[in-house]
Chain A
Amino acid sequence: MSGIRRQALAVARRDLARERRRGEVLWVTVPFGIIALLLVPLAIGTDQATLHRVGPGLYWVVVLLFGVLVGVRGAADETGPQRDAAALLGLDPVAVFAGRALATSSLLVVFELVVGVAAIALYDIDLIGVGWLALVVLLVAIGLGTLATIASSIVASGAGTAALVPLLVAPLAIPLLLGATQSLDGLRQGTSILSWILLMIVVVLVLGIVGVVSSGPLQESR
């Protein structure tokens, strides 16, 4: 068990170090997400009241659609020889899954925060219940990161990986989208959001179990 944790942390650190050098998430995906937030008012009009109303929902849609791209990174960035060499270090598939999901989720938190600041500024979104908000951000990041990691390893060997992962992830990520948007609504209206939080926790747990169980068969080359 400690071996798996050590390996998972090594994988996460490797992925994050590679991402730091490349800056793909921070300098490509994040600006892309912010552009999406800029485009919407150009298309639907700049009425403050409307933007204030649709802002939070729009933000989560952007997080879901563009956040998937953060997860796609994991599928495309390892060449065959790199995968072989890593396998012969004795990497446990569960550790690879956990490490990749951890790295992707961490990157998603960064993505959510930076794009979130832009959304607050552009749409005049109220920040209510920061503690709960932080929990929602975290749960979406872990859920989406885990789902994207599983989807990336399902398509890993095939061609057209980058286009396929978002198609697989988006429909299955709907509970996360609903959980996040409804939680924000609840916070704004002062109603209880506990059940939505619980829903997201269930999603995270279920995806975690699927990821662990499927990691062996998925990473086995043949």
Chain B
Amino acid sequence: MTPSVPIVEFRGVGLRVGTTTILRSVDLVVDPGQAIGLFGANGAGKTTLLRVLGTLSRPTEGLARVLGVDLTTTDRYDLRPRIGLVGHTPALYPELTLRENLAFAAEVMDVARSRVDEALAMVGLAGAAERPAGACSHGMQRRAEFARELMVERDLLLLDEPHSALDRDAVDLVEGLVARTLDRGGAAVLVSHDRDRVAKMADRCVELEAGVLR
């Protein structure tokens, strides 16, 4: 990837579902090596914007490019493995153990199985690898999801409330994960209510207000 291509290039992006407008003419450019803090009240559309950035929701208006690919095209599947998303609701399968959860990701992404235990050790969950995700605390599940992101290399990292339910060590972990992504020329978008903490990590902060970016 040439460094001149922005990781995110949104111009006048809007999203409407049925009768509800969720995003309205969002302009956002994120260059390689940049971390953006995204703030906003409940229901302002932060999580939706994150899903659009993650190619999971298709915008209904405007020009939207992520990693140089137009999001309105159907061919977004090649793009997806390069984007990491850790949402605020755990996305692990509760019946499977933490190791099985990560092993599934490793198998789908064709990553060596040995990386699973390495990643779990990095987030301090080596001892809990055999525990079903459903029996783990919220914080542990989030750690396991960060382990999944550590296991693979992403060019765009999307974190929704990265600091919630995490202790001091785990917060360092998030910062390490973001720093690693930025170092290799990627970018990160951090959604949060914790302005102080995110402002320290971010190069730039934007505010989403009723579907409009300010």
Which residues of A come within 8 Å of B, CB atoms?
3, 6-7, 9-11, 13-14, 17-18, 21-22, 79-82, 84-93, 216, 220-222
Contacts and interface: CB of A to CB of B under 8 A. Distances in A.
A28 to B, nearest CB: 15
B137 interface: no
Contacts of B84: 88
Contact of A88 (B83, B92, B93): B83
B74 to A, nearest CB: 7
Interface string B76-109: 0110110111010111110110001000110111
B57 interface: yes
A82 B91 contact: yes
Size bracket of the B interface: 20 to 34
Nearest to A85: B91
A6 B83 contact: no
Given A90-B80, A90-B81, A220-B74, A82 B93 contact: yes
Interface in B108-134: 108-110, 132
A93 B110 CA distance: 16
Contacts of B148: 85
Specify the main secondary structure of chain A where it touches its partner: helix
Contacts of A18: 93, 95-96
B85 A85 contact: yes
A50 B93 CA distance: 47
Nearest to A22: B95
Contacts of B105: 89
Contacts of B90: 81
Interface in B59-81: 74, 77-78, 80-81
B96 A14 contact: yes
Nearest to A15: B93
A216 B108 contact: no
Contacts of A14: 93, 96, 100, 104
A51 to B, nearest CB: 39
A222 B104 CA distance: 25
A18 B78 CA distance: 27
